[in-house]
Amino acid sequence: MKNRIKLLLVDDHPVVRRGISSLLAGEEHLTIVGEAADGVEGLRKAKELLPDIILMDIAMPHMNGLAVTNALRKELPQIKVLILSVHSNTEYVVHILRSGARGYVLKDSRPEELIRAIETVHSGEACFSHDVARLAVSRFVRGSGDGSAESLLTIRECEVLAQIANGLSNKEIAARLFLSERTVETHVSNMLNKLGINSRVEIASWVAQELRPA
């Protein structure tokens, strides 16, 4: 228990909570310390149980997930929030991250993606989706004033950027996107040149900076 990642589930759907509990039951490094069915209960239990990470739904009775996340950012900033959402709209995603959440996972994601997201957030990093990476790219280019938001990076380069932001190596990215490792290296090199960034480590830092909560 001492070395396990302590999780609090906050979701108003009992079936969802039961499914996540069942999914994570076999992970020895994870433990669910509590559940809540609405935002008010979630905030109260967060203060009582002091979990490492809260798996947070958005639309809930009494107090929505973004309001809870904002409150936690001010009152208990050591607790990290990972949003579980059915929304993949880019503008919706930025509101999630602006609230102070460390990332989000779509509810239809594969089990291993949820587990990886939990581990990533616990390590102190943010967990981004493809949509978030594309948003960061678009915002960056709009800020440069050259009007080339659609042409700066290709769709494939945005996909590679998202995986770098999630901490994947070139080999892992190649396997996930069904590319050769050499092709991934080429995409990374092209991105560094286009964005004026010196290393892949700076790519993840750049995305995090673009989406830092206000």
Task: Identify the residue with better confidence: 135 or 8.
Answer: 8
CA dihedral 33, 107, 69, 11 (to 10 degrees): -50
Task: Identify the residue with better confidence: 45 or 138.
Answer: 45
Fold of 130-210: Arc Repressor Mutant, subunit A (1.10.10)
Contact call for residues 129 and 101 (beta carbons, < 8 A): no
**Three-state DSSP class for 77?**
coil
User: Among all chains, which residue has been given the structure tokens 């990332």?
Assistant: 103
Q: From residue 140, how far is each of 9, 81, 102, 167 by CA, in Å?
A: 34, 25, 20, 21
Write out the H or E segment, with its range, that includes residue 96: helix 90-98
* Whether the predicted pLDDT of 60 surpasses 50: yes
* Whether the predicted pLDDT of 124 surpasses 50: yes
**Three-state DSSP class for 31?**
strand
Q: Which of 73, 134, 131 is nearest to 102 (CA)?
A: 73
**Angle subtended by helix axes 155-165 and 170-177, to nearest 10:** 130
Question: What is the pLDDT, as a whole number, of residue 80?
Answer: 94
Question: What is the pLDDT, as a whole number, of residue 18?
Answer: 94
Record the tokens describing residue 11, joined without a space.
């979701």
CA dihedral 96, 155, 182, 193 (to 10 degrees): -80
Least confident residue range of 56-70, 78-92, 125-139: 125-139
The rounded distance, in Å, linking the Cα atoms of 2 and 39 is 27
Question: What is the pLDDT, as a whole number, of residue 44?
Answer: 97
Average of per-residue pLDDT across 7-22? 95
**Three-state DSSP class for 64?**
coil
pLDDT above 70 as % of the chain: 77
The rounded distance, in Å, linking the Cα atoms of 157 and 148 is 15
User: How many residues would you count in the chain?
Assistant: 214
- Indicate where the chain has its CATH 1.10.10.10 domain(s): 130-210
* Whether the predicted pLDDT of 139 surpasses 70: no
- Indicate where the chain has its CATH 3.40.50.2300 domain(s): 5-122
Fold of 5-122: Rossmann fold (3.40.50)
Contact call for residues 124 and 194 (beta carbons, < 8 A): no
Q: From residue 196, how far is each of 80, 188, 191, 199, 203 by CA, in Å?
A: 31, 12, 8, 9, 10
Kindly report, residue by residue over 187-204, the tens digit of the pLDDT. Answer: 999 888 887 778 877 776
The rounded distance, in Å, linking the Cα atoms of 107 and 45 is 22
User: Among all chains, which residue has been given the structure tokens 């009582």?
Assistant: 48
